[in-house]
Every structure is written in C-alpha cells, then in structure tokens.
Amino acid sequence: MELSGIGVGRGLAVGAVLRMPDPLPEPAAGQHGGDAAAEYATVKAALAAVSAELGDRAVRAGGDAQAVLEAASMMASDPSLDDDIKARIEAGTTGERAVFEAIAAFQDILIGMGGYLAERAADLGDVSQRIVARLRGVAAPGVPESDTPFVLVAQDLAPADTALLDLDKVLCLITRDGGPTSHTAILARSKSIPAIVGVGRALELVDGDVVVADAASGTITVNPSAQIIAQTRERIAQRAAIAHAPITPGALADGTPIPLLANLGSPAEAADAVALGAEGVGLFRTEFLFLGATRAPTVAEQQAQYVQLLQHFSGKKVVVRALDAGADKPLSFLTNSHEENPALGLRGLRALRASEQILRDQLVALANAQAETDAELWVMAPMVADAAETDYFVSIGRELGLETVGVMAEVPSLALVAEQVAQVADFLSIGTNDLTQYTLAADRMLGSVASYQDPWHPAVLRLVKMLGDAGARFGIPVGICGEAAADPQLAVVLVGLGATSLSMTPAALADVRAELLTVTLGQAKAKAALALLARTAVEARAVATATESITA
C-alpha cells in the first residue's frame, strides 16, 4: 500500500509506526454531587497544574516553540476562562463538563476572530484535554514512549507535544491534517525531521506497520519489501554523507549563484544560522521587540538589538523587515484589536503609516546600527499594496539614511503592478505565506482551509513570475523569504521563475543547497514553465518534480 501527502524537506525515514493515542472522549453531560465549592477547587487546582506544566515545557523547549507554549500556559490560567468554568459549576455542571464547555466556547470565539487567534483555538483544545485528563487521574494523550526509534503517526500534533520531541527516537512525522505551512510542517523544518502532512489515509496505519517515508516525493510505502528498505537505508546514508560535506555558497549545477539566507526572529538565532551555512539574512522579523510591550521600544533599545544581529554577519547581506503588526500580531499601542477582519485590515505598512513616528524611530535605529557595523543592511516594508506605498516607504528610508530600501510582495496587487514597483524599490522580497493566503482567499491559520495554503498553486507561481520578470527587466534583486523557499523542489521552481536568492529556516539550508546543485538554470526554468501550465497545486508539484521534466 502507498499513501501520499505533502512532504516537508527531502528527508527519508524507515521505521515502525507508533500512533498518537486517541483523544479523551468528551465528558458526559451531568450534575455534580452538590458541593460546588469543592468541585470548583478541584478544577482550579487542575488549571493551575496544567498551566505550570505548559510553562515548564516552554522554558525547556526554547526557540519558536517557547512562545507557543507560553501562550497555551496563559490560556489555562486566563481569568475569563476561570470565571466561565466557575459559573457553570455553580449552575450544577460537573467540573469535567464545565471545563469542556467553557473551553469549547472560548475556541468558537477565537475561530471567529480568524488569523493568529484562530490558530490558538487548536492549541486550546490540547489544553482542554490536559485539564480533563488531570481531573480523571489519567495521562493526557501525547507522544508515545518507546525504547526504539519510531515513525510518529497522528491526526495532528499539538505544540505541547511537538516542542519536546525526542529527536533520537522520532524518525519521521506523518499527520492526516495540516498543510505546508502548518505548525507541524514548520516544526519539522526547524528540527530537520522528515515529515509528510495532509495524508488523508494516515489513520489507516497501525502500530507496528513498517513504512518508508519519502518527504521529497510525499509518499509513504507501507510494509515495503526488504529490497526497498535496503535501498532506502543506502539513500539515507548517502544523504548523511552529503550533510557532513563542506558548506559551499548556494549555486546551481551550472555555477549560477543563488545566495541561501536565513529567516530569523531574534539576534540569539544568528550564531546557529551561520553555523548551518547561511550566507546572510533574508528576513529578520523585528516583532520580538514589540510583542507583549505596552509601548514601542526606544531608538536606543532597538539599536542595541540590531547591532547585536548585524555583528554576526560582517560583510554579508541582512534584510530587516520593518515592524509587521496587526492581524495575527496585534499591538495595543499600534493596532485596533476590534477589527472584524484584521488580516485584511490595518496591518503592516498600513499600521505604521497611521503611526509614523513608530516607523521613523525604527528606521533611525536601523540606520544607526548600520553605521556601527560593516554588515550590508537592507530594510523592507511589509504588506505593501502598490507603487505609491512603495514610494512612501522608500522615500522615508532614504531620508533617514538607509542605503538599500525595498518592499515585501505579499499582496497580489503588488505583483500586478510589479513593473511600477521595480522602478522605485531597490529590491523585492516575496513572502509566499501571505501571498498564497491572499491569492487563494484562505486564512493560513485556519485548518479548515489548509489545503488551499499551498504555494505550488499555479496562481501563486504566476504572481511570482510577474515579480521575477519585473526584477530582471529593471535590474533589481527578487528574493523569496516565505516557507516556500524551504521546500527544496519548489525552491528550484522559484529560481526558474526569477528568484535571485532564497531565505528560509536555517535547518532547511542543507537540503535546498543540495537540490539546487542538481539542476542548471535552463532546467529550473523548464520545471517552472511546466508548473505554470498546471491546473492545481498537486499537478504543479507532480509535473515539476517528474524526472522527465528535466531538459538540458
């Protein structure tokens, strides 16, 4: 039997399946024994214990996972949730049922808000399971324990489970749900674990099934022959040898240079990126300085952090994104938290333009940091719609002393007027996550439309080509900084569409570097041409990755 889904990376795995335990059944409706105070006290203790457990996991996880787990911990101790549970218990509902109902109501509210908050609704479901498990005195569903390495199969994975995966034991992740930008996919890339997500028949696999998982092709061979297993193990050994080969600059087989850069969220991540071969930074997210704050950081506070980053990349390019607030990253002092559809509201450059002093302070801090170091600083604006907004940002940047000023292409309208934009900006950087979201009208944080969030879609690829063509005509660089660049086979297609650099999570650099070396520029363009003619994302991936698509 062979199953298929969306592969993450180029990795291979051979191993026996272990299934995530099924979720706990929904608590039955019913009434408690009459002592509401005692019932509530028991639930209150469970809430506190789960909040503490998630907080501890956050500290141990570190990195991107820490913020997700800290948010889950805060949910478990949210006063409004506590009040709702207490009111239900006082009305006679059992503690387990009160927790289930209150959290379900909270989830509905978050889903209605969309964006980042909708994604948190899924995390809240995991919190509910953990609290109910503690009330029942049973273990919460989670990653199974094993003395031997295994392939983990699940409907989906909660952040609390994935954050602390034992990388010596988990060979591969296979999930029924999720897409190329899902939490599981992002985690797999960051930890260099092979993964195949969106596998419709994944739950047909049972404990003990032996599988060969090929992330490059997105295929899973169930109970393969001894010959297939031996061939796969040989390929795994070959990949391991390549991974330990000397790190070289990104390039195609014909020598065409394609700089491979890192996406970073704080200066603390810089050293690891350099060690993994990042030739610079293609996206530095500055939101870490602002999120959770009650005021914007000062110029001096920001400058210190930017200097710390730039010092890691002497003589190399570092692309910094101006504050991208709004939608999934609300800020009390900048954005309106009550917008009905914040993903289409006052976010990115729009929010900065409405509070221009915050923008000016950030650009001054960046210009000052540039003067203190010898890194090659580039600065770009998020959520730019057209040439007029481009001119606004570029003009302010140059006024404040920045030498290289560009914009992000995340809104389809910018691609449609790409030639106008390319005459104003010093460079373009394509954020494929949002570009895909807006092109296909599918919120990238909603699991219900995850299948639409696929940057292989020909509509998205055609917009990328418009931007690549405009960059080539007017002689400006066009980079990719979305999750699409971390997909080795899609990276080849993006280069064929005109991308001049690729930026990704540092863990993906080795795979992308190896894949680029397998094709010439002509072959990359041929693959891109085939993908553009496809009707669906699945078809685009299939025709572009077929061996017969490669031409001299």
Q: Cα–Cα distance between 538 and 548 in angstroms, integer?
A: 17
Q: Is 481 a catalytic residue?
A: yes
Q: Do the beta carbons of residue 317 and residue 503 sit within 8 Å?
A: no
Q: In what order do the strands lie in the sheet with 210-214?
A: 2-4, 219-222, 210-214, 12-19, 150-154, 170-175, 195-197, 6-8
Give the active site residue among 32, 172, 457, 481.
481
Tokens of 423: 């005459």
Q: Is 172 a catalytic residue?
A: no
Q: Cα–Cα distance between 383 and 77 in angstroms, integer?
A: 34
Q: Cα–Cα distance between 455 and 538 in angstroms, integer?
A: 10
Which residue type does 471 have?
Answer: G
CB neighbour burial string for 438-474, b if at least 16 within 10 angstroms, e if fewer: bbbebbbbbbeebbbbbbbbbebbebbbbbbbbbeeb
Pairing, β 428-430 against β 260-264: unpaired
Give the active site residue among 32, 183, 312, 457.
183
3-state SS of 276-313 is CCCCEEEEEECHHHCCCCCCCCCHHHHHHHHHHHHHHH
Q: Cα–Cα distance between 305 and 461 in angstroms, integer?
A: 35
Which residue type does 136 have?
Answer: R
Q: Cα–Cα distance between 234 and 242 in angstroms, integer?
A: 13
State CA 103 to chain mean position distance: 25
Which residue type does 81 have?
Answer: L
Pairing, β 260-264 against β 317-321: unpaired
Q: Which residues are catalytic?
A: 183, 481
